[in-house]
Chains A and B, each alone.
Chain A
C-alpha cells in the first residue's frame, strides 16, 4: 500500500456578493466606497451565513482545512448532505478550480466522470462523441481506438453509434458517457453521483463495473454520493463532510451510520401550520407511556394530530401518514381510509388519534409524512414528507428478552411463532 494522493489543509473560500455581480459599475462603486473608507455596498447581499466561522461574514468557507490521504487501489467515499462541500472538493480534485489554501499532491493522473452528456456534441454521432469525450477526459486517440468496441458494447448503444447524439434519449447519453469514463484508465477516477441516473439494470451494471475497476485493476476511486447503499457496496473507506469540514474518517459502515445520525435535524416545525382550509394546531408522537420520546420496537405508540377546519361540514376528511426511512423510501402508511374513518366533521377543532398497537418497523431514523385530503372535492389540502422525525429504538418485540440488533433486520418484523418437531 502506498499513498497515491495527499491533501493537506485544503480550504476554499467564496466571497459573497462579489461573485456573479461583477460589472464594471459595481466594481467602480466598490472602489469608490473603499477610497472613502466605507464598507462595500454590495457585501450586504447575502452576507449572513452561518458557515462563516473563520472570518467576518463577508466570506464563506465552502471547505476548511480538509486533510486526507488516499491509498493506491482504495475506493474512498465522500459523503455529506447538500452544501457540505463535496462538490467543491471534487472540483478542486479534478483541477476545475484551485483551493484558497493548501495543496493536493498526487502521484497519478486524476480524471472525473462527466455528468450526463457534458462534452457531448449533439451533432456528432455516438462514435465521434466517444472519441471527443475520451479525449476531453485525457485519453489519446490510440487508447480510445483500442477500447472502442468494449465501450460501445458496455453502453448497449450498438445500434445507434452512427446516429447523432442529439437523437439519443437521456438514458442513452448517460450510458455512453459512463461507458467512456469507465474504460478510461486514469490512476485516480473521481465519480460524482452519476449512478443516480439510468435504469435499475444499468445502475447495477455500473456499480459492478466500478467494483471491477477498483478491485480488479487496482484503480483508485473517489466516490461522492448521497446513495448510502452504493457507498456501502463500493467503498472501502469514507469521509463525512459537514459544513465544509471533515467530521469523520474511517470504515464505510461507521461513516454511513455517523452520517445518518448526524444528518442535521430538520428545521423544527412550528405549529400551527396553515393550509388551504384550516390549520394543523399540533402533532405529537407518543410512546407506550404517552410520553413524547423515542419509540420502542414492538411497543404501542400514538400519532396525535389536532386540526382546525373552516366550514367542516363541506369536507370529508382523509388523513394519511407515511413513514419514510433515511433513504427516503416509503416504508408504510397509516390511513383513515383503510379504517372507514373518513368522515364529515362536526366541529371546527378535531383530534385525530392513530394508535399503533405493535410497532414492528425495524429500528432506525424515520420521517413521518402527512397528507390531508378532502374526499368530497378530491383535493389534497396539505402534504409534507417531513412533518416530524422519529427514532425507533430496538425493543423486546417478541417478549423473549432477545433484542433484535439493528443490522440485517430488513424493513419490518412480522409476528411469528416457531414450532420445531
Chain B
C-alpha cells in the first residue's frame, strides 16, 4: 500500500474553502450539461400547448398593446416622434429579459434542491443556463420587434437606428449579468429566508415602474423632479433608456449612466458569485 503524495490527488473535499472558488476548467468540462439545461428550459416550457413557442411572442405583444392603450392613449405619456407601441415593445422586451433572468435565477437553489441534494456539478451551471435560455427567448422577441420596426419605417415613422446599435449585444449582456448577479444573491438568501420569495414577486413589479419601461427618463425628470433620482440611480433604467436610444433614436444617452451601470453590475455580480459560492457548499443542510 503506497500512499501517494498530496500533489497526486485529483481534488480534495475539504471543510475549508476559498472566498471565490471559481473553477473555469470544471465549468468547461460540464459545458454539455449547460447546453442540455438550455435545451430543456426552451423545449419543455410550452410542451403540450397548442401555440407552443408563439407564447414567447404573445406575452410582449399584448403587454405592449395594453401599455400603449393605458399609458399613451389614456394617461397621455409622450413618447416624442416614436410610435408609442414600438416604444413600449422595446422597453417590455428588454425589461422582460431582465425580469426572467432575475426571477428564475433567484429560484435556483430551491427549485433544484432535489438534484443538488443528490449529485455534484458546478452549481453555477444552472443560473448560466437560465441566462442563456432566456437570451434565446429574447432573441425570438427581438425578431418580432424588428418586424414591427420595418412596418413602421415603411409607413414613414420618424425613427432612426443610432450607429451605436453595434453595442446593443453588449448592453443585453450587461442586462443579463445584472439579472444574474441580483438573482444569485437572492437565491442564496432565499435558502434561509423564505420571505424573500414573496418580496421578489412584487418587488420586481415595483421595480418595473422605476425602470423607465413605459416612459422616457426625461419625462420623469420633467414631471417629478423630486423623486426622479430613484429612476436615475436605477441601473436597469439606464440600460432600457440606452437601448431605446440605440434602437429608436429616442431618449438620452449619458456616459455617466453607462459607466455607473457597468460599475454597479460588476459589484453586484462579484458579491453574487461570492455569496453563491458560500451557499452552494452547505445549502442542502438549510434549504
Q: Distance (Å) between the CB of B107 and the closest chain A CB?
A: 16
Which residues between 16 and 44 of chain B lie within 8 Å of chain A, taking CB atoms?
A: 16-17, 29-30, 32-33, 35-37, 40, 43-44
Contact partners of A124 in chain B: CB under 8 A:
40, 43-44
Contact partners of B285 in chain A: CB under 8 A:
14, 19, 97
Which residues between 76 and 107 of chain A lie within 8 Å of chain B, taking CB atoms?
A: 91-107
CA distance A119 to B4 in the complex (A): 35
- Does A255 belong to the interface (CB within 8 Å)? no
- Does B222 belong to the interface (CB within 8 Å)? no
- Does A108 belong to the interface (CB within 8 Å)? yes
Sorting the interface of chain B by its residue count into under 10, 10 to 19, 20 to 34 or 35 or more gives 35 or more
CA distance A131 to B286 in the complex (A): 30
Q: Which of A20, A91, A104, A118 contacts B115 (CB 8 A)?
A: A118
CA distance A107 to B30 in the complex (A): 19
Determine if B8 and A95 form an interchain contact, defined as CB atoms under 8 angstroms apart. no
- Does B254 belong to the interface (CB within 8 Å)? no
Which residue on chain B has the smallest CB distance to residue A25?
Answer: B195
Q: Assuming A91-B284, A106-B9, A124-B40, is B118 touching A119 (CB within 8 A)?
A: yes
Q: Mark the stretch among A136-144, A218-226, A367-375 that contacts chain B.
A: A136-144
Q: Majority SS of interface residues in chain B? A: mixed
- Does A109 belong to the interface (CB within 8 Å)? yes
- Does B193 belong to the interface (CB within 8 Å)? yes
Which residues between 113 and 149 of chain A lie within 8 Å of chain B, taking CB atoms?
A: 114-115, 118-119, 121, 123-124, 128, 131-132, 135-141
Q: Which of A92, A98, A135 contacts B30 (CB 8 A)?
A: A135
Determine if B33 and A136 form an interchain contact, defined as CB atoms under 8 angstroms apart. yes
CA distance A65 to B228 in the complex (A): 59
Contact partners of A136 in chain B: CB under 8 A:
33, 115, 119, 121
Q: Distance (Å) between the CB of B35 and the closest chain A CB?
A: 8
Which residue on chain B has the smallest CB distance to residue A110?
Answer: B120
Determine if A123 and B15 form an interchain contact, defined as CB atoms under 8 angstroms apart. no
Determine if A114 and B13 form an interchain contact, defined as CB atoms under 8 angstroms apart. no
Contact partners of A111 in chain B: CB under 8 A:
119
CA distance A109 to B9 in the complex (A): 11
- Does B263 belong to the interface (CB within 8 Å)? no
Determine if A118 and B47 form an interchain contact, defined as CB atoms under 8 angstroms apart. no
29 contacting pairs across A/B (C-beta < 8 A): A1-B1, A6-B3, A19-B285, A19-B286, A20-B286, A23-B193, A23-B195, A69-B1, A94-B118, A95-B120, A96-B118, A96-B284, A97-B285, A98-B17, A99-B15, A100-B15, A104-B12, A105-B9, A105-B13, A106-B12, A107-B4, A107-B10, A114-B118, A118-B115, A132-B40, A136-B33, A138-B121, A141-B32, A164-B47
Extra pairs beyond A91-B284, A97-B281 (17, CB < 8 Å): A3-B1, A22-B193, A95-B13, A95-B120, A98-B281, A99-B14, A100-B15, A104-B14, A105-B12, A105-B13, A106-B10, A106-B11, A107-B10, A112-B119, A123-B44, A137-B119, A138-B29
Q: Which 6 A-B pairs have the closest CB atoms?
A: A95-B120, A103-B14, A135-B33, A22-B192, A104-B13, A105-B9
A interface list, Cβ under 8 A from B: 1-3, 6, 14, 19-20, 22-24, 69, 71, 91-112, 114-115, 118-119, 121, 123-124, 128, 131-132, 135-141, 164
